[in-house]
Amino acid sequence: MGAIKRPEGATHSKNRRGRGPGTGNGTTGGRGNKGQNARSGGGVRPGFEGGQMPLYRRIARRGFSNYPFKVEYEILSVGTLEKNFKKGDTVSLESLREKKLVGTNERFVKILGDGDISKSLTIDGLKVSKSARAKIEAAGGSVTGVDVPVSDEAPAESVSDEAEATPEKVESAEAESSDTEESSSEKDSE
C-alpha cells in the first residue's frame, strides 16, 4: 500500500489569486475592475435582479396544480410483445420487468396497438387500448385484470359493513339497539 502513488496530475496546488501578473490571476484576481462584485463582501443575494421584480415574485402561485400527482404510463406496443414473449406466456408488470422492457420503478404500463401479433398471450393487470385488445384477442390471447392500477403496496382491506350502510340496514340496526336497551332496563328494574 505504501508504494501506491497517485497518477500525475491527480493532485494540484490551490489556485492563489492576486499573486502577481505571471499567474494569470494577478492584480484584480479575476474579479474585473471595480463594482459591487469586485469588493470584499460584495455581491448580491441569490435571486436578486438589481431592483427589478424578481422571478420568484413575478410568477403567480395561486390555486392548485395536479402536476405532482399525475400518472404517466410507460407505453409498449403489441409488436414489442410479439418479439419478446413466447406463445402462451403471461404478460404482467413482473414479467415485463424481468425482460427489462420497463424499469423497476415503473408502476403503470399501457399496451398500444402498434405492430402485429400472432402469438396467444395473456395480458394480466395492464391497461390495453381498444386496437391492442382486438389484435391480442384475434391472435387467441386474452386480457384480464384491466384498469386495475398495479402497485407494490399491499392491497387495501375490504370495505366494512358499516361503510356500506343502506337506509334499511340503519333502521334495522336502530330497532335492534332499542330492543336491547329495553330488555336491559327491564332486568335492572327486577
Domain boundaries, the chain: 69-144
The predicted structure's pLDDT at residue 149: 45
Contacts of 145 (CB under 8 A, 6+ apart): 124, 125, 126
Q: 49-87 burial, b for 16+ CB within 10 Å, e for fewer? A: eeeeeeeeeeeeeeeeeeeeeeeeebebbbebbbeebee
69-144 adopts what CATH topology?
A: Ribosomal Protein L15; Chain: K; domain 2 (3.100.10)
User: How do residues 101-144 score in pLDDT, each as one tens digit?
Assistant: 999 999 999 999 999 999 999 999 999 999 999 999 999 999 99
H or E, element range at 173: helix 167-189
Q: Is the entire prediction scored with pTM above 0.85?
A: no
Question: Position of cell 474585473?
Answer: 32
Q: pLDDT per residue over 50-59, tens digit each?
A: 999 999 999 9
